[in-house]
Amino acid sequence: MDVGQKVVFVRAVKGAEVGKRGTVMKVFDNMVVVDCTLKEHLAPVLAQMWDVLPERLWEHLLKRRKVGSPITAGESACAPVPSKSPSRIRRVRDGSLFISDD
């Protein structure tokens, strides 16, 4: 991940809900500071690398799902990718999402 990169939260982190977009301001070992709008004002959010995805990858996953709304923490987040693709989006015990090839 690079400073200035546009990202999307895939896990709720300190006031930033799933699907919230922001810009990486600082990068540490496995942490990033993301600048995003929270409650109508810009605020930095400290998140772990696996809490955010690059915006391009997020858009690609949404396009593959052929759904216009962002992935949410509800059951729809576990819905499989269309049958034409071998990949599926799944949720692990800690609530995070990952892609697997079954």
Give residue-wise pLDDT tens across range 16-42. 888 899 999 999 888 899 988 877 778
Q: Which residue has the higher pLDDT, 92 or 75?
A: 92
The pLDDT assigned to 40 comes to 76
Tokens of 96: 């995070």
Where in 3-96 does DSSP place strands (E)?
Answer: 6-9, 21-27, 31-38, 41-48, 52-54, 87-91
Give the Cα separation of 28 and 37 in Å (integer): 21
Single-letter code of the amino acid located at 11 = R
Residue entry with tokens 């989006």: 89
The pLDDT assigned to 76 comes to 44
The pLDDT assigned to 77 comes to 47
Residue extents of the structural domains in the chain: 6-53, 67-101
The model carries a pTM of 0.59
Give residue-wise pLDDT tens across range 39-83. 777 888 888 888 898 988 888 888 887 654 555 544 444 444 444
φ and ψ at residue 81, rounded to 5 degrees: -70, 150
